[in-house]
Amino acid sequence: MAVVQTSYSDTPPAGFAGMVAESEPSTRISRSVEDGAGIAFGKAAFRGSGPRGCTATPAANAFLGFVAADSAGSADVVAQHGSAAILTKGVIFVTTGEAVTAGAPVYVTSGGGIVDTASSNTAAPGWVFDTAAANGALVRIANRS
C-alpha cells in the first residue's frame, strides 16, 4: 500500500474559514447561491433576487449570515445553484480583511472582506469578533443573541 502522509505538524491549524467553531447552539438556514462564481466558505451571504436565493454582494438590510463549510463539495466554495448552509447564529471561523479587535462589531466591505471598520461597510447585525487577529488571519466571529 502506498504511503499517503509521512509527516505531521506539531501545531495543527485551529480551524479553517467556514468551520463552525463551537458546539454551542447555532442556527442555520439554506439558500440557493445565485453568484456565477459561487460563495466561498466563511464569506458573508446576503438576500438574493430569487425567492430563496443568496449572493455575496453586500446590500443594506439584506444580510443573512456567514456560509458554513460543507463536506459535500470538492472545493471551499458553494457553487452557483448549490445550497449554501448559512450560519445566522453561533460561532464560525472567517478570514479577516484587516487587523481586528476582540469584541468589535463585524462589517463586510464591498469586496466581501470581513472587518471591524464601520465606515462605508455593511453591518453584520449581532456579530462580533470573538478574538483579535491580524489582517488575513483566521479569526472566530460570534452571534450569541
Q: What is the pLDDT of residues 55-70, one digit of tens each?
A: 999 999 999 999 999 8
- What radius of gyration do the chain's Cα atoms show? 16
Over range 5-16, report the average pLDDT: 83
86-121 tens-digit pLDDT: 999 999 999 999 999 999 999 999 999 999 999 999
Cell of 92: 464560525
Q: Residue type at 56?
A: A
Residue 13 has what pLDDT? 79
Question: What average pLDDT does the structure give for the chain?
Answer: 94
Phi (first) and psi of residue 24, to 5 degrees:
-65, 165
Pairing type for strands 138-143 and 122-129 reads antiparallel
Amino acid 121: pLDDT: 97
Report the distance separating Cα 141 and Cα 145, nearest Å. 13
Calculate the alpha carbon distances from 122 to 19, 76, 110, 118, 142 in Å.
22, 24, 8, 7, 17
- pLDDT number for residue 74: 64
Q: Taking the CA of residue 131 as centre, how many other CA atoms within 13 Å lie in the half-sphere pointing to its CB?
A: 15
Alpha-carbon distance of 119 to 46, in angstroms, equals 19
Instruction: Provide the residue type at 60 as one letter.
Output: A
| Distance in angstroms (rounded) separating the CA atoms of residues 27 and 17 | 18
